[in-house]
Amino acid sequence: MSRVTYRAIQQEVLARIRRKTWQPGALIPTEAALAAEFGCARATINRALRELAETGIIERRRKAGTRVSATPVRKATLEIPVTRLEVEARGATYRHKVLERREIPAPAHLIARMNLAANARLLHLKTLHLADAHPFLFEDRFINPLTATGIKDAPLESISANEWLVRNIPISGGDITFLAEPATPEDAAALDVATGCALFIINRLTWAGIEAVTQVRLAYPPGYAMTTKI
């Protein structure tokens, strides 16, 4: 075991910020100075501070140095699990039901958002996910068969599109939006709730490079909450 760990340095830095030894907005010593003070290598200081910078507690810029964030932008990490695992983590039995599966011409609003050719066709899926036979999530998904190669032959009755895509199509990135919406009549029927009641909605658009793979709207019934820690 070495004498000084990067975690110990992080703790000490946080303690000094908490004690106001280092005020918000103020510069803290350079890596070299801290390495000398703590009697460790600069690389150790670097790792400690780099990770703190990733959480938004401090801000670092070459030449300008490192300073305590004046108005820290807290960053929370959300885990986005496969729905089956999320249900099973709650101790329930997972099942899903494909309500609709059709190939259609891409709707106009998706041609722009997904950067598709004007005559592109998409696979349109509607799926109800169940936890112990109770509606857990109503999913309305469009899949680009050109990027999600093999989706047409996927056994989507036994593996959800969600999970099939995650396992088979390497995704480079995506945009996620969280919001609240009133239940449409279709949402209400699928989830067995009243039309107009407040649903938690996730919209997600995912990419493989510059090509869109899938756009999905997830509607969760009242009572669902997404939780995380900072």
Assigned token pair, 144: 């680009």
Binding site for a second copy (CB under 8 A): 14, 17-18, 24, 56, 70-82, 85, 163, 166-167, 170-171, 173-182, 196-201, 206, 220, 222, 224-230
Nearest to 145 by CA among 155, 136, 133, 154: 154
Buried residues in 31-69 as b, exposed as e (16+ CB within 10 A): beebbeebebeeebbebbbeebeebebbbeeeeeebbbb
Residue 141 identity: R
Nearer to a second copy, 51 or 121 (CB): 51
Stretch that binds DNA, among 6-14, 105-113, 179-187, 209-217 (CB under 7 A): 6-14
41 is a site residue for DNA (CB under 7 A): yes
Task: Work out which of 13, 17, 49, 131 binds DNA, going by CB under 7 A.
Answer: 49
The whole-angstrom separation of Cα 94 and Cα 101 is 20
Q: Which stretch binds DNA (CB under 7 A): 63-71, 141-149, 155-163, 164-172?
A: 63-71
Strands 121-131 and 58-61: unpaired
Q: Which stretch binds DNA (CB under 7 A): 4-12, 90-98, 138-146, 150-158?
A: 4-12
Q: Which of 43, 80, 112, 198 binds DNA (CB under 7 A)?
A: 43
H/E stretch holding 6: helix 6-18
Report if residue 36 touches DNA, rule: CB under 7 A.
no
Q: Does 22 bind DNA (CB under 7 A)?
A: no
Q: Residue 114 and residue 101: Cα distance in Å, rounded?
A: 20
Q: How many CB atoms lie within 10 A of CB 150?
A: 10
Report the distance separating Cα 66 and Cα 50, nearest Å. 10
Residues 114-143 interacting with DNA (rule: CB under 7 A): none
Q: Which two tokens stand for residue 193?
A: 């709730």
Stretch that binds DNA, among 26-34, 162-170, 173-181, 200-208 (CB under 7 A): 26-34
What is the distance between the alpha carbons of residues 80 and 226, in angstroms, rounded to a whole number? 10
**Shortest distance (Å) from residue 20 CB to DNA:** 20
Q: Among 14, 26, 32, 85, which residue interacts with DNA (rule: CB under 7 A)?
A: 32
Q: State in angstroms the smallest separation of the CB of 33 from DNA.
A: 8
